[in-house]
């Protein structure tokens, strides 16, 4: 591991391989603000900045200098993808630069978009609309709250109800229990929209029994939290419970695919953040879905590039989710899948890019004019594909 550089290098490799973005248009960057890891500070081979992590004004001034330089050097249309920022920094930076730069946080927005796509696709199996369902999250960090907000936005858009009303269908559980208005401790700002009127529930099981969710979503980063009792409780009042155990890696998954199917008597619709093998239960093969950000960010980024977008709008994230959900076929549904196979990713990315680009043109945020008549074909024609000549 090159002291953090593996993350941006890997992400940009996926932009090229999965989304068709030219490698020459990509630049991996690590923001080094020091480390509080004493072992690294004493390591003679550590190549990072040998000082304690910068915080407060020093930290934000440095980030502002970086963001200003990026725009000065590369212009209005350069896409900056934020990755692996701590919760409090991630939300502040996205709020600050989302209105002045073309910026995207994969941990907040990419995760939210791929999970929303799974939820939209799952409606074919669950029935009803998003507004007919109740969502309970275990985990209220940047992933959980980011997903919750995007679900509320899509629900508001589809049902024409105010955003505040849509949020009332979504409940979050953190380390202290169900987030409710009567909680005495002060809530972090990104949790406040999810504090609803309700009696306190100290455990996830208590919250499940009280809220009776149709969808249970795990973003806690803590494994084995969807216990047999929890899954059985959700399955007891849902014909087809939706269970999304999204924490990575596999050891931190809230439950396994096999557990979800067995504890729900084969009725669960299951997706996870980590990959799980197909499961045999009562003579039927179930194929677990993987809510992998790689479905979304390459196509989203490519759509921004081919349209010359100057800002990322929430409607573009919704457009990406809807495009991904649209790639799930009846054959996939029969196997219990709510995501298409990743082997089709180039086609998936082209469709996502086209949908995102269409939204950019619709919102007046695109600069590559005139708009192509067929955006899917245009996206496919713009995709970078490595061609290696064989010499004999």
- What is the set of domains in the chain, with CATH numbers? 6-106 (3.40.50.10380), 126-293 (3.40.50.720), 294-382 (3.40.50.10380)
Spatial contact of 233 and 207, defined as CB atoms under 8 Å apart: no
Would you place residue 5 in the very low, low, confident or very high pLDDT band (cuts 50, 70, 90)?
confident
**pLDDT tens digit string along 79-118?**
999 999 988 899 999 999 999 999 999 999 999 999 999 9
Consult the annotation and say whether 248 binds a ligand.
yes
Is pTM, for the whole model, over 0.85? yes
315 is in an annotated binding site: no
Q: Is 107 one of the annotated binding-site residues?
A: yes
Cα(296)–Cα(298) distance, integer angstroms: 6
For 359-378, write each residue's pLDDT tens digit. Answer: 999 999 999 999 999 999 99
The response to whether 83 counts as a known ligand-binding position is yes
Average pLDDT, the chain: 94
| 221 burial via Cβ count (<10 Å: 0-12, 13-18, 19+) | middle
Classified as helix, coil or strand, 63 is helix
- Give the Cβ contact number of residue 55 at 10 Å: 12
Q: Convert the pLDDT of each residue in 159-212 to its tens digit.
A: 899 999 999 999 999 999 999 999 878 888 899 999 999 999 999 999 999 999
Q: What span, in angstroms and rounded, lies between the C-alpha atoms of 246 and 76?
A: 34
Which residues fall within 8 angstroms of residue 388, CB to CB, at 6 or more apart? none
pLDDT digits (tens, 9 = 90+) for 25-54: 999 999 999 999 999 999 998 988 999 999
User: Rounded to whole angstroms, how far apart are CA atoms 336 and 61?
Assistant: 49
The pLDDT of residue 205: 98
How many C-beta atoms surround the C-beta of residue 18 within 10 A?
A: 20
Classify the phi-psi angles of 201: left when phi > 0, otherwise alpha if psi is within -120 to 50, otherwise beta.
Answer: beta
Both tokens assigned to 136: 């309970």
Tell me which residue of 223, 258, 218, 265 sits closest to 241, measured CA to CA. 265
Helices and strands, number each (H, E), in the chain: 15, 11
Mention every residue, 6+ apart, whose C-beta is less than 8 A from residue 104: 79, 80, 81, 82, 110, 297, 300, 301, 304, 312
**What mean pLDDT comes out for the span 356-360?**
98
* Residue 262: count of CB within 10 angstroms of its CB: 17
């Amino acid at each position: 591991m090159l002291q953090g550089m593996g993350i941006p290098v890997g992400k940009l490799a996926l932009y090229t391989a999965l989304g068709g973005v030219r490698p020459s248009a990509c630049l991996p960057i690590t923001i080094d603000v020091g480390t509080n890891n004493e072992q690294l500070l004493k390591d003679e081979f550590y190549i990072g900045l040998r000082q304690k992590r910068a915080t407060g004004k020093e930290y934000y001034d440095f980030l502002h200098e970086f963001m200003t330089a990026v725009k000065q050097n590369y212009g209005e249309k350069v896409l900056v993808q934020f990755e692996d920022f701590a919760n409090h920094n991630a939300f502040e930076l996205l709020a600050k630069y989302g209105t002045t730069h073309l910026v995207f946080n994969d941990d907040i927005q990419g995760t939210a978009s791929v999970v929303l796509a799974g939820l939209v696709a799952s409606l074919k199996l669950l029935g009803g609309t998003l507004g007919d369902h109740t969502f309970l999250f275990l985990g209220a960090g940047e992933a959980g709250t980011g997903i919750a907000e995007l679900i509320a936005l899509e629900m508001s858009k589809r049902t024409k109800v105010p955003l505040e009303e849509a949020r009332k269908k979504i409940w979050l559980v953190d380390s202290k229990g169900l987030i409710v208005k009567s909680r005495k401790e002060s809530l972090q700002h990104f949790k406040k929209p999810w504090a609803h009127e309700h009696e306190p529930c100290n455990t996830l099981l208590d919250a499940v029994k009280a809220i009776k969710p149709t969808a249970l979503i795990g973003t806690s980063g803590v494994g084995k939290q969807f216990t047999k009792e929890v899954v059985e409780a959700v399955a007891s009042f849902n014909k087809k419970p939706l269970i999304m155990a999204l924490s990575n890696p596999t050891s931190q998954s809230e439950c396994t695919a096999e557990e979800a199917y067995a504890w729900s008597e084969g009725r669960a619709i299951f997706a996870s953040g980590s990959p799980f093998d197909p499961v045999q239960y009562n003579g039927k093969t179930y194929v677990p879905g993987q809510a992998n950000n790689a479905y979304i960010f390459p196509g989203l980024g490519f759509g921004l590039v081919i349209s010359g977008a100057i800002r990322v709008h929430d409607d573009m994230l919704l457009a990406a989710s809807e495009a991904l959900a649209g790639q799930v076929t009846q054959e996939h549904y029969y196997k219990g899948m709510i995501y298409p196979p990743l082997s089709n990713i180039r086609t998936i990315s082209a469709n996502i890019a086209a949908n995102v680009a269409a939204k950019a043109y619709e919102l007046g945020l695109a600069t590559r004019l005139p708009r192509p008549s067929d955006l899917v074909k245009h996206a496919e024609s713009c995709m970078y594909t490595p061609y290696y000549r064989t010499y004999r």
